[in-house]
Structure 1
Amino acid sequence: MPLFNQHLVEQWINKVALRHGRRVGHLNYIFCNDERILEVNRQFLQHDYYTDIITFDNCRGRTINGDMFISVDTVRTNAEQVGATYNQELHRVIIHGVLHLCGINDKGPGEREIMEAHENEALSLIPEISE
């Protein structure tokens, strides 16, 4: 289980959700290793590759609910590759999942750039990340 200020992260997620016209219901984070996320990716999405997060959407109306599997191994690797701290990358991945639950996609043409803009905006709302 990664160490982070859970209360601060919950407040931040609530703020981001409100900016997208949503409110937060039940969010479950399942922190796992690369092998486990690969199993989940194969079993539920028929994808045969590692990823940092898999988000399962259980939203009801404007209330976001979901389960998010996060590979701490991939988060660590990605942080090293982009020159970020582990916590900065972990926060980016967490908010990425939340943004998916808010209806933002990243698979179609131009959607990745839109997702990144929303991630950056969200990350600027939490002080220790923007420093």
Structure 2
Amino acid sequence: MIEFCYETDFKLANEEKTREWITDVVKRENRTVNELVYIFCDDNRLLELNQKYLNHNTLTDILTFPYSDSEALHADIFISIPRVKENSQKYGEVEEEEIRRVMVHGVLHLIGYQDDTDEAKQKMRAKEDEKLRLFHVER
């Protein structure tokens, strides 16, 4: 099950297409979805979570909290809409595409991809690009 919760005035344009896409991404990585909950929130909420659980006093666009290390993904994924919007402007990307990039980034972390070195960041970016192209394929 994939759920979307909104703590801001943001709302995904097409929840069902997004669910199908995330499910396809996970399936192509030989995993399944148990429960993924995306919580779209503001900077203050993510900063509070970052401070409380990770002892980081910085803004971020996403925090992923896994509840299982099995093949079936189970997690809460918090996304700061203001941070994503700012990043989309910074990188010259359409907001909706940047939101999808962040959404799939969280899933890729759950699957085991990392971004803690330059080489890992390149692999993560390539995998994000690959998975973003899947969103635009007619189903």
Residue aligning to 1:101: 110
Read off the aligned partner of 2:22 and give its amino acid letter: I
SS of the residue aligned with 1:26? strand
Runs of 4+ in 1 over 2 A off after TM superposition: 1-4
1:69, distance to aligned residue in structure 2 (A): 0.8
Are 1:56 and 2:65 an aligned pair? yes
RMSD: 1.3
SS of the residue aligned with 1:110? helix
Read off the aligned partner of 1:2 and give its amino acid letter: K
Are 1:2 and 2:11 an aligned pair? yes
Query: Cα deviation per residue 1:40-89 (whole Å; 9 max; x = unaligned)?
Result: 10110111110100001123521011001100000000001111111010
State TM-score, norm by structure 1. Answer: 0.92
CA distance in 1, matches of 2:102, 2:85: 11
Read off the aligned partner of 2:29 and give its amino acid letter: H
5+ unaligned residues in a row in structure 1: which ranges?
none
Query: Cα deviation per residue 1:1-45 (whole Å; 9 max; x = unaligned)?
Result: 323211111111111111111011101111111111111101101
State TM-score, norm by structure 2. Answer: 0.87
Equivalent pairs counted in the alignment come to: 128
5+ unaligned residues in a row in structure 2: which ranges?
1-9
Are 1:13 and 2:22 an aligned pair? yes
Residue aligning to 2:51: 42
